[in-house]
Chain A
Amino acid sequence: MEKQKILYESGNELAAYAAKQINYHVMGYYPITPSTQIAENLDSMRAEGLCDTVLIAAEGEHSAAGICYGASAAGGRVFNATSANGLLYALEQFPVQSGTRFPMVMNVACRTVSGPLCIKGDHSDIMYLLNAGWIILFAYTPQMVYDFNILGLKLAEKVNLPVAIAFDGFFTSHQKQKCEVFEEDTVVQTFIGEKHAAYSLLNLEEPITIGSYMNEPDVMNNRYQLHLAMDTARNILPSLFAEYAALSGRAYAPIEGYKQEDAEVILVLLGSAFNTAKEAVDLLREEDIKAGAVTLTALRPFPKTLINYFPSAKIIIVCDRQDSYGAEGGNLSIEVRSAIYRKTRAHVLTRIYGLGGKDFFVEDIIAMVKDALLPRAAVFAYYGITEGSDGEKQPTYFAPLTEEEQSPGITVCNYDGEAKKMIVTGGKLADTTAMPIRIAPGHGACPGCGIPVNLNLLLKGIEGNVVVLFQTGCGMIITTGYPKTAFRIPYIHNLFQNGAATLSGVEAVYNELKRRGEYPEGDITFLMISGDGGMDIGMGSAIGTALRSQHVILFEYDNGGYMNTGYQLSYSTPLGARSSTSHLGKAQYGKTFFHKDTPEIMAATHIPYVATVAESNPADFIKKAAKAAAYSRDFGTAYIKALSACPLNWSDKPNLERNVIAAAVDCCYFPLYEVEQGITTLNYDPSVKNKKIPVTDWLAMMGRTKHLAKAEYASIAAEIQAEVDRRFERLKARANHPLL
Chain B
Amino acid sequence: MSLNFTLPITKESGYFEIRLESIGGLGANLCGKMLGELGALYLKLNALSFSSYGSEKRGSPVKSHIRWCSPDKFLRLCSPVVKPDMLGIFHEALLKNYPLLADATEHTCIVLHTNLSSENAAKTYHISRGTLFCIPALEIAMAEKSRINMVMLGALTAALGFVPLEMAEQLCKNTVGKKYPQLIEANLNGLHRGYEHIRKQAPFICSPDAAAVNSDINTDNKPPFTWGYKNAPIGGINPRIGSTVSNDLSASREGYIPLFIKDRCINCGLCDSACPDFVFQFLPGTYKDRNCMVNMGPDYTHCKGCLRCVEVCPTNALVTALEKDYPKKPYDQPNKDLLTSQFSYTEHGADASITGESYLTEKQVGGGVL
Q: Which residues of A contact B (CB under 8 A)?
A: 6, 8, 33-34, 36-37, 40-41, 44, 115-116, 119-120, 170-172, 174-178, 272, 275-276, 278-279, 357, 359-362, 385-400, 429-434, 436-437, 439-453, 456-457, 460, 474, 477-489, 563-567, 579-580, 615, 618, 647-649, 654-659
Contacts and interface: CB of A to CB of B under 8 A. Distances in A.
A444 B282 CA distance: 23
A440 B276 contact: no
10 contacts: A37-B358, A385-B228, A386-B229, A397-B241, A398-B338, A440-B244, A444-B349, A444-B352, A451-B276, A487-B242
B46 A178 contact: yes
A429 B269 contact: yes
- Counting chain A CB atoms within 10 Å of each CB, the highest count among B229, B269, B307 belongs to B269
A448 B306 contact: yes
Interface stretch (B77-85, B100-108, B118-126, B137-145): B77-85
Main secondary structure of the interface of B (DSSP, over half): loop
A478 B245 CA distance: 13
Contact of A484 (B33, B80, B240, B340): B240
Interface in B258-304: 267-270, 272-280, 282, 284, 292-293, 295, 299, 301-302, 304
Interface in B220-253: 222-232, 235-236, 238, 240-249, 252-253
A37 B299 CA distance: 39
Given A36-B357, A176-B36, A399-B339, A439 B278 contact: yes
Given A433-B269, A448-B276, A566 B351 contact: no
B199 interface: no
B225 A393 contact: yes
Contacts of B292: 430-431
A432 B249 CA distance: 25
A360 B80 CA distance: 9
B36 to A, nearest CB: 5
A434 B293 contact: yes
B278 A437 contact: yes
Interface stretch (B47-55, B88-96, B128-136, B205-213): B47-55
A394 B239 CA distance: 12
A440 B80 contact: no
A452 B269 contact: no
Given A395-B340, A441-B278, 18 more contacts: A178-B39, A276-B77, A385-B228, A386-B229, A388-B227, A390-B231, A397-B241, A437-B337, A441-B244, A441-B335, A442-B244, A444-B351, A444-B352, A445-B352, A480-B238, A567-B359, A656-B311, A658-B311
B29 to A, nearest CB: 11
B37 interface: yes
A436 B355 CA distance: 33
A442 B349 CA distance: 10
B147 interface: no
Contact of B49 (A176, A388, A580, A656): A176
B70 to A, nearest CB: 12
Contacts of A441: 244-245, 277-279, 299, 301-302, 335
A511 to B, nearest CB: 24
B310 interface: yes
A8 B231 contact: no
A436 B337 contact: yes
Given A175-B50, A441-B302, A388 B230 contact: yes
A618 B340 CA distance: 32
A8 B36 contact: yes
B312 interface: yes
Contacts of A446: 57, 304, 350, 352-353
Given A174-B50, A359-B79, A484 B273 contact: no
Contacts of A489: 241
Size class of the contact patch on chain B: 35 or more
A483 B293 contact: no
Interface string B11-43: 001000000000000000000010011011100
Contacts of A442: 244-249, 301-302, 348
Given A176-B36, A486-B242, A452 B277 contact: yes
Contact of B308 (A392, A432, A658): A658
Given A386-B229, A391-B225, A447-B252, A275 B76 contact: yes
Interface in B340-368: 340, 342-343, 348-360
B9 interface: no
Contacts of A357: 53
B190 to A, nearest CB: 22
B40 A440 contact: no
A36 B355 contact: yes
- Counting chain B CB atoms within 10 Å of each CB, the highest count among A429, A448, A449 belongs to A448
A34 B305 CA distance: 31
Nearest to A478: B352
Contacts of A386: 226, 228-229
Nearest to B65: A175
Contact of A396 (B222, B339, B355): B339
A278 B231 CA distance: 36
A443 B244 contact: yes
B28 to A, nearest CB: 15
Given A6-B40, A482-B238, A387 B80 contact: no
B165 interface: no
A392 B225 contact: yes
Contacts of B40: 6, 8, 177-178
A489 B311 CA distance: 31
A385 B78 CA distance: 21
B58 interface: yes
A389 B230 CA distance: 9
A482 B236 contact: yes
Nearest to A359: B79
A453 B351 contact: no
B229 A385 contact: yes
Contacts of A483: 226-227, 232, 238, 240, 243
Contact of B352 (A44, A276, A488, A563): A563
Interface string B314-345: 00000000000000000000010111101100
Nearest to A486: B244
- Counting chain B CB atoms within 10 Å of each CB, the highest count among A390, A442, A478, A489 belongs to A442
Given A8-B36, A386-B228, A450 B338 contact: no
B75 interface: yes
Contacts of A648: 352-353, 356, 360
B82 A615 contact: no
B238 A429 contact: no
Contact of B247 (A174, A400, A447, A484): A484
A460 B272 CA distance: 11
A391 B276 contact: no
Q: Name the 3 nearest CB pairs between A and B, nearest first.
A: A388-B228, A440-B242, A580-B359
Given A392-B222, A430-B269, A655-B310, A177 B352 contact: no
Contact of A429 (B50, B74, B268, B307): B268
A279 B12 CA distance: 11
A389 B226 contact: yes
A362 B337 contact: no
Contact of A37 (B33, B37, B348, B357): B357
B348 A178 contact: no
Contacts of A359: 79-80
A177 B230 contact: no
B189 to A, nearest CB: 25
B274 A453 contact: yes
Contacts of A390: 225, 231
A644 to B, nearest CB: 10
Nearest to B343: A395
B354 A119 contact: yes
Nearest to A169: B53
B283 to A, nearest CB: 9
A385 to B, nearest CB: 6
B359 A474 contact: no
B55 to A, nearest CB: 8
B36 A174 contact: no
